[in-house]
């Protein structure tokens, strides 16, 4: 019943809203949607309170929703001229009245005692005299450490005798005189198990064929190994040539067509992250290492003027959601800088270049960047905020 009433209320509410919007679009009626929502929003409180009454939930909560909905709806429709101050004055006594009604009409909880046990409780089953008696357990095995009584020995059946071992088969030519048949048979069996001996002349066709097969197999393996070595050398040469071509193309186009990795997944890379606030790195003298900096809300400042730049290429990734990103670089021509920045909303100023607007990308590098010994690659990405990369000194 409760589910049906809930579906009925919300279904009628959606139907009324849909019919009203359709009549407004057709020009039959004219009303302001904002004014209607500001006037009749307490009706939602009334509906929730009535639904709670039908669902048999908390009486106190349902009454509060209904009373508050009626008061605000009547005030919006000018049914009475009560102010919010008047409502607060009458709210305290009204809450006391509702608490008293709840205490009076609150259902009493059922107290379950130990004497009134449920009927379906488990009960132990007692055997009566009419039930079939359980047969006794079989006797245990006798203890071999104890000495057996003569009476108990009579009960145990005797052990059957061991049948005699049949004699060994004799030679088909009959036994040799002097009892030499068994020794002769053993000698013949031992000689039969021995591998065939090589002929006295030293020549055997089977051994010669095996030797030819081994030589042919070894030559084939050497041939395959030689071809594998040639293929490996050719593959290494092709990979080296391809690497040089890609490097030349990479240097020619100033890294503008490469895919930018906005996050370094190397386990040795330093990671700095923040949620809300400002991040400032580089207040003291420090050694620059590859790092990932991620920030949610706040400014991010990276000062490299006091950093010791190692030889080679050092990649720094900075990712920010809301906030400005500022990077200060040392004014040293021996240090090459390559900056790739991306901003959805905000201004981007990298060295002497500046752009503004929506969804701006910039790829700037200092002159002779590939030829410098110390290189810094900055990948800066922000959603809302400005990006500033300047040289100081």
pLDDT tens digits, residue range 21-45? Answer: 888 788 888 877 777 877 888 888 8
3-class DSSP assignment, residue 174: coil
Give me the DSSP letters along 164-213: PPPPPPPPTT-PPTTT-HHHHHHHHHHHHHSPPPPPTTS--HHHHHHHHH
In this structure, how many other beta carbons lie within 10 angstroms of the beta carbon of residue 223?
Answer: 10
First to last CA, the chain: 79
| Cross-strand pairs, 337 | 376
How many degrees, rounded to 5, is the angle at CA 88 between CA 83 and CA 89? 95
370 and 309 in contact (C-beta within 8 Å)?
no
C-alpha 381, offset from chain centre:
26
| Cross-strand pairs, 272 | 293
User: Which pLDDT score, from 0 to 100, does residue 133 have?
Assistant: 62
pTM for the full predicted model: 0.36
How many degrees, rounded to 5, is the angle at CA 103 between CA 97 and CA 109? 160
User: How many angstroms separate the CA atoms of 292 and 315, rounded?
Assistant: 9
User: Which pLDDT score, from 0 to 100, does residue 49 have?
Assistant: 82
The radius of gyration of the chain from alpha carbons, rounded to an integer in Å, stands at 50
User: How many angstroms separate the CA atoms of 335 and 17, rounded?
Assistant: 67
C-alpha 10, offset from chain centre:
39
- Quote the mean pLDDT of the chain: 72
Q: What is the pLDDT of residues 337-392, one digit of tens each?
A: 999 998 887 788 888 888 877 777 889 898 888 889 899 999 999 888 889 999 88
């Amino acid at each position: 019943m409760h589910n049906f009433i809930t579906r009925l209320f919300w279904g009628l509410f959606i139907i009324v809203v849909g019919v009203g919007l359709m009549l407004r679009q057709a020009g039959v009626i004219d009303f302001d949607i904002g004014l209607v929502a500001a006037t009749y929003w307490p009706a939602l409180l009334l509906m929730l309170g009535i639904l709670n009454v039908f669902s048999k939930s908390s009486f106190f909560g349902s009454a509060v929703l209904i009373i508050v909905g009626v008061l605000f709806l009547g005030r919006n429709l000018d049914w009475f001229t009560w102010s919010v101050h008047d409502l607060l004055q009458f709210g305290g006594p009204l809450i006391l009245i509702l608490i008293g009604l709840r205490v009076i009409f609150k259902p009493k909880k059922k107290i379950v005692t130990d004497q009134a046990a449920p009927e379906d409780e488990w009960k132990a089953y007692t055997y009566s005299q009419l039930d079939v008696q359980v047969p006794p357990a079989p006797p245990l095995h006798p203890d071999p450490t104890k000495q057996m009584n003569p009476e108990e020995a009579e009960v145990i059946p005797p052990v059957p005798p061991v049948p005699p071992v049949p004699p060994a088969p004799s030679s088909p030519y009959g036994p040799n005189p002097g009892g030499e048949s068994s020794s002769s048979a053993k000698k013949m069996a031992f000689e039969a198990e021995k591998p065939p001996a090589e002929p006295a002349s030293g020549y055997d066709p089977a051994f010669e064929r095996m030797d030819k097969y081994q030589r042919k197999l070894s030559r084939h393996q050497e041939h395959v190994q030689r071809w594998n070595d040639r293929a490996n050398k050719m593959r290494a040469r092709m990979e080296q040539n391809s690497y040089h071509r890609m490097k030349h193309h990479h240097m020619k186009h100033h890294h503008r067509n490469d895919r930018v990795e906005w996050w370094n997944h190397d386990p040795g890379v330093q990671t700095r992250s923040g949620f809300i606030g400002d991040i400032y790195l580089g207040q003291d003298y420090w050694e620059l290492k590859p790092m990932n900096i991620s920030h949610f809300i706040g400014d991010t400042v990276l000062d490299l003027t006091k950093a010791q730049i190692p030889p080679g290429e050092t990649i720094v990734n900075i990712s920010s959601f809301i906030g400005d990103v500022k990077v200060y670089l040392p004014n040293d021509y021996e240090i090459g800088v390559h900056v790739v920045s991306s901003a959805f909303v905000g201004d981007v100023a990298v060295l002497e270049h500046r752009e503004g607007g929506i969804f701006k990308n910039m790829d700037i590098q200092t002159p002779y960047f590939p030829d410098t010994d110390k290189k810094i690659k900055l990948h800066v990405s922000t959603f809302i905020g400005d990006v500033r990369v300047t040289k100081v000194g």
